[in-house]
Amino acid sequence: MNVYDFKQIKDSSIDWNQFKDKTVLITGANGILPAYMVESLLLINNTLLKGTPCKVIGLCRSKHNAQQRFKDYLSDKNLKIIYQDVSNEIKIKEKIDFIIHAASPASPKHYNNNAKNVILPNVLGTINTLELAKDNNLKGYLYLSSVDVYGQIDDGNVFTETEYGFLDPTSVRSCYAESKRIGENLCVSYGNQYNIPVKIVRPSHTYGPGMKLDDGRVFADFVKNIVNDENIEMKSDGSARRPFCYLSDATIAFFIVLLNGKLNNAYNVSNSKTIISIKNLATKLVSLFPDKGLEVIFTKHDKDYLESPVKGNIVDTTKLEKLGWKPSVSLDEGFKRTIESYMN
């Protein structure tokens, strides 16, 4: 984690004292979003929680990826990594105080050829973490959902957490969104039946250092192009508009909702100041590094890439902002930090 991101996270309104001497389980810990939460807690241990550190348990499928992502922390006695699929029963002897369930493939390249493995972590994985929560008298449970649960709403509309559009359950492309919807309902159902303190976040397109550049999402492809001194290749007309939220802003939001969010409630996590079309994003990224002399070019559509039917939905974050959250990293600064993290 770069020093700018950690300072922003550490100095935010998060009450880090609530993690004193507590144990936090984070599933899918290798992913870009949960990995930053793991790293944040470990760094907070060494600064604000000296003497009363929290213990972080990261649940990951890939030992190789975990050892690469957390290579600087493997000797940290407050980090324990468990290697297993979240879709299998989770057996942990330690008392758990917080669970952050973030295990879920989010790459569109999986939707067409590996839909089952997109669905399972959001359904079986959610059940398994909630079953674990039943036995631990948790202080907080956070489910990382997605703005994809909203489906297709009239383009250009700004919508809140209670407005939903059309989602075709017979489309393979819906495997991610539908499974996130099921995951959310499982959370509120368990929360209601077993008094589990469940909160839900719905991130929009989140980017930052550590994201996989081969995961099939267009903004990751663009970053990879810039890093590799390649022209940016557009696989669509680029008219879709997206709000992009930088990783440190999103991380702060997740912790704030975990600690201060209302039970059985969902919160949009997005940055309305960074809404931009895919085509204009490509042009902007090229312009951030003029010395590379790169261009934006249009190419043939990838048959394995299932493009989202949603063209321009914008989510309202008023509910989250009432908890004291406000994004602070601009689009230019965020993508510059991201790209430079792969060039250093």
Tokens of 147: 């703005």
144 phi and psi angles, rounded to 5 deg:
-90, 105
Amino acid at 245: C
Domain boundaries, the chain: 3-210+244-273+315-328
Is the domain covering 3-210+244-273+315-328 a CATH 3.40.50.720 domain? yes
- Which has more pLDDT, 262 or 215? 262
Q: How confident is the model at residue 78 (pLDDT cuts 50, 70, 90)?
A: very high
Amino acid at 310: V
Average pLDDT over residues 204-210: 91
Proportion of the chain in helix, strand, coil states, percent, rounded to 5: 40, 15, 40
Residues 125-176 pLDDT 10s? 999 999 999 988 899 999 999 988 888 876 667 788 888 878 888 887 888 8
Determine the pLDDT at residue 337.
Answer: 94
Residue 197 pLDDT more than 70?
yes
Name the DSSP class of 262. Answer: P
Go through the chain and tell me how many residues it has: 344
Say which residue the tokens 């995951």 belong to. Answer: 183
Distance CA 13, CA 307 (A): 37
Residues 85-111 pLDDT 10s? 999 999 998 999 999 999 987 766 667
Closest by CA position to 104, among listed 207, 31, 26, 185: 31
Full-model pTM: 0.91
User: Which DSSP string do the residues of 192-214 spell out, in sequence order?
Assistant: HHH---EEEEEE-EEE-TT--TT
Distance CA 157, CA 29 (A): 34
Residue 299 pLDDT more than 80?
no
User: Which DSSP string do the residues of 12-80 spell out, in sequence order?
Assistant: SS--GGGGTT-EEEEETTTSHHHHHHHHHHHHHHTTTSTTS--EEEEEES-HHHHHHHTTTTTT-TTEE
Residues 57-66 pLDDT 10s? 999 988 988 8
Average pLDDT over residues 264-281: 92
265 phi and psi angles, rounded to 5 deg:
-115, 150
